[in-house]
Structures are given as C-alpha cells and as structure tokens.
Amino acid sequence: KYGISVNGSQIGLSLHKGGNHPDFKGDKGLHRAVYSFMPHNCGFGARAVIHPSYMLNIPHIVSDGIFEAEALVKTDKANIIVESVKACEDEDKAFIIRLYEAEGSRTTGTVTFGSCVKKFVQTNMLEEALGSAVDASSVRMQFRPFEIKTIKAYY
C-alpha cells in the first residue's frame, strides 16, 4: 500500500497490493484503506507532512476520564521521529527505541528520556550494543538523511 505516481496532471494511488505466493488467498477478502490529500503551501517537512500523516494513520483513542503520563522518550527536532518502542528481545528490564530522520537532512538533536530510564546504550539494528551504557537522561545524536538509530533503554 501507499504507492503513488504522478504523470502530467494525473495522480495514481495504489491502495493495496497483495502477494499470492506462497498463500494464493493472501490478498482475497475485504481490505480497508484510508487516504487523504493534504494540500500545503510550504515545502515537504516533518511538521507539514510527516506529523499529520502519523495523525491520520495512528488516530488517537479518546475515552472519558483524566490520564496524565510522562513522555517515555521525546526529541527536540520535528524531523527526528520516534518510530517505535518495543520490548527488548534479550533483557528483561530494557526496551528498544527506534528513531529516524524524516526530512532527508543532516540533523543534530537531543533525545530526552522519561524518569523511568536509568541508563541507555546505542545499538545496531540487531540490538547489539555499540558502546557502554550511559547513566543520563538525554543524549545528543547526529542523524544523516533518513538514518535510523536504535537505542536500548534500561529501567
């Protein structure tokens, strides 16, 4: 999904493409898709395109009541996106944070952790440590265009 093309004045949108091998029934049945045209009068950027796209694809869940929570992780640059947080595969008291640079630009920003994080270490994509764990509540990180970084956070 999410395939687009532009040819002259025509825009093409592929909402779904399913494989048929090894499961020839894998793309059969009802598929739901949401899409949106979002005109904007500025260039491509995280605030203009990426953040609203996340709002469309991952809508907020609204319920009655009051809930306050500290952010688990946040960044000071709009183009450094916290893409996922997941349980660590090989340690009980750790979780993995994946971030990426979304605008195609070199960026240096600060990643700040919530108070539950006691220490962290940057890892490769296989979650293997690239150094020693550091006791700190934030870290300055440099990103190349579209670079993905992985952090193992201990609590």
Tens digits of per-residue pLDDT, 33-83? 788 888 878 888 898 889 998 989 888 888 899 888 899 999 999 999 999
Whole-angstrom distance, CA of residue 37 vs CA of residue 6: 14
Low-confidence winner among 6-20, 53-67, 93-107 (lowest mean pLDDT): 6-20
In the chain, % of residues over pLDDT 90:
59
| Token pair for 71 | 């952010």
| Token pair for 91 | 């340690």
pTM over 0.85: no
Whole-angstrom distance, CA of residue 115 vs CA of residue 71: 9
